[in-house]
Amino acid sequence: MHWDQMTDTTDDLRRRVTRLRCGVGQLGILESIIEASFGPWLGAVDADGRGAAELRMHLIGRFRLTAVVTSAGKFSVIQLNAPKKMGGERVLSPKAALRKGWEEAEEAMPKQQQWLDYVMTWVEDASAAVDRRAILEHQLKGADRRLVALENTLEGLRANLREREQVRDELAAEVEQIRRDLRTELEARAAKRGVTLPPLDETDSPAPSSL
């Protein structure tokens, strides 16, 4: 799921974590991270087929967090994204090849047993760094984007309606022409037989077999 598509609030995430039936260790870790957040965080939580649980959260798109916890209650990877002046991208993982952002960091990479505390502190700091103006600007940007998308959808529907109306008008003209041709044909047959053709009902076609 893309970050822009996330709609679950922290309250929603708490309920989803409970429904995932995670292990005790997983549940405690995920709930601790969620509890550390305040403000309009949005996110998603999911579990893979191997028992790992993944939590993804973002705060107005400026701060993003991905944490994967194994069934044993240990982090397999933590990815933190923040503005460059606040640390940029950092990745924690038991696998050295996956780690990122610590070579030039002012602080040393925390030890594995400190990772949960580090993530909770990061979430708290991120929550405190976003003021109401930034939140409103982000909400305005999102609402404006949705409005443009809706207007584009409506314009597409209008264009489709105009095309259908044109097809309808063409079909109506074709029906009228066929009706006139049929009337002419019936009048010609009636004239040959010396009978008077009754008025043609505009809604029903006459039965040509009678003539």
Q: What Cα–Cα distance (Å) separates residue 95 from each residue in 49, 99, 116?
A: 21, 7, 17
> What does the chain come to in residues?
211
CA atoms of 184 and 81, how far apart (whole Å): 78
- For residue 10, the model assigns a pLDDT of 83
Any bridge partners for residue 57, and if so which?
Answer: 43, 65
DSSP string covering 77-110, please? EEEEE--GGGT-EEEE-SSGGG-BS-SS-SSPPP
- Which whole-number Å values give the CA distances from 5 to 34, 79, 168, in the listed order? 19, 19, 39
User: Could you state, in order of their start, the residue ranges of all structural domains in the chain?
Assistant: 3-129, 131-196
List the helix and strand counts (H, then E) for the chain. Answer: 4, 5
Contacts from 48-56 at CB under 8 Å and sequence distance 24+? 51/23, 52/76, 53/17, 53/20, 53/22, 53/26, 55/13, 55/17, 55/30, 56/1, 56/3, 56/6
Sign of CA dihedral 70, 75, 79, 80: positive
pLDDT number for residue 16: 79
pLDDT at position 206: 52
Q: Return the pLDDT at 201.
A: 62
Question: What CA–CA distance (Å, rounded) separates 157 from 165?
Answer: 12
The pTM of this model reads 0.64
d(CA 22, CA 130): 31
User: What are the residue ranges in the chain where pLDDT is below 70?
Assistant: 1-2, 4-5, 20-25, 49, 199-211
Rounded CA gap, 62 and 86, in Å?
A: 11
- Assess contact for 66 and 78: CB atoms under 8 A: yes
Task: Count Cα neighbours of 73 within 13 Å in the Cβ-side half-sphere.
Answer: 11
pLDDT at 126: 93
